[in-house]
Structure 1
């Protein structure tokens, strides 16, 4: 994934969101989703 992020930043994109979801799908039970935008070069 890091390579894709580098390509997007070189193409001029300023923000890239990482997303994830957890749940049983759209028809059964609750679904939770989250997104995070962390500045390039940030150590996590």
Structure 2
């Protein structure tokens, strides 16, 4: 698991964790196509 994933999982609620995990799995599961991290499924301001 990457550092950013560990960091995000540390303070987000369970539903948000599932959304992030789903987005990551989607990006890995489709070869040649990466979904943007935390795009539509979880609106989140970029720091």
Structure with greater helix percent? 2
TM-score between both structures, scaled by the size of structure 1: 0.34
TM-score between both structures, scaled by the size of structure 2: 0.32
